[in-house]
Amino acid sequence: MDLPEILNQWSGATKCPWPKCSSKATFKTRSSLRTHVGNIHINPLICTHPQCSYKRPFGKQHELDRHISTAHGTIRNHKCPIDTCEASVSGFARKDKLTKHLRDEHENLKCPYNHCSAVVLDTQQESHLLKSHGSYECALGDCENGGASRFSYTKLKQHLRGSHGMAYWPTHRLSSLAMDDKIVGSKYLLNRKELQNCATCRELQLE
């Protein structure tokens, strides 16, 4: 069996027909199947770094690139912005590793507002507040005593849906009613029984 034969047999979404292929993925396009067969079976896309113990092929080039960067990377362009920190010199190969470092090692850089997990440098604080925060507050359930959140209008609606489990229309109605006093309170609720409490504020008040 070769690639042209497999592609000629294509008739729609399918599992990989290559003998003994262990992939459980369903390939919905001819292109995705071609990429899989080529990179996994015909010309296996494997790491050629000396002494690498990972022998399985990668399905896509960016997955191999990510592996090389993470496991064998020597280019560490993501530097910690704190001059006194060792990581300002050594740096990280990946941005998410730098973000984790900032959250774990430099707590003073976290956004001070409730419900916001952003990592914000002192020089970026004003820009972050203008972009991500506004003048809205939530006073539903434990959010009433959970500290200032300074939601923007969009972030408020995301909070109501994500933290309180509200559907689209109740979220839209409450957000609109709060446009005057900027606070979503229980006085606006039509049905309190379906309201979920905010896990974030609940945990803060149990500490």
pLDDT the model gives residue 34: 92
> In the structure, what pLDDT confidence band is assigned to residue 193 with cuts at 50, 70 and 90?
low
Residues in the chain: 207
Cα(72)–Cα(168) distance, integer angstroms: 46
Residue 33's nearest CA partner among 47, 18, 16, 19 is 16
Percent of the chain with pLDDT over 90: 34
Region 44-71 average pLDDT: 86
Q: Could you give the 3-state DSSP secondary structure of residue 40?
A: helix
Cα(30)–Cα(116) distance, integer angstroms: 42
Could you tell me the two tokens for 147?
């500290």
- Tens digits of residue pLDDT in 81-140: 676 788 887 788 777 777 788 777 876 667 878 998 887 776 777 788 888 898 899 999
pLDDT of residue 191 exceeding 80: no
> In the structure, what pLDDT confidence band is assigned to residue 207 with cuts at 50, 70 and 90?
low
Q: What average pLDDT does the structure give for the chain?
A: 84
Q: Which residues in the chain belong to E strands, given as ranges?
A: 133-139, 151, 183-185
Amino acid identity of residue 47, one-letter, is C
The distance from CA 96 to its chain's CA centroid, rounded to whole angstroms, is 10
Which backbone phi and psi does 139 adopt, to 5 degrees?
Answer: -125, 35
What sign has the CA pseudo-torsion 8, 11, 14, 20? Answer: negative
**146 Cβ partners below 8 Å, 6+ apart?**
114, 115, 198, 200, 201, 204, 205
> In the structure, what pLDDT confidence band is assigned to residue 33 with cuts at 50, 70 and 90?
very high
Cα(149)–Cα(50) distance, integer angstroms: 50
- Tens digits of residue pLDDT in 35-54: 999 999 999 999 988 888 88
Q: Is the pTM of this model over 0.85?
A: no
Cα(79)–Cα(86) distance, integer angstroms: 9
The distance from CA 58 to its chain's CA centroid, rounded to whole angstroms, is 22
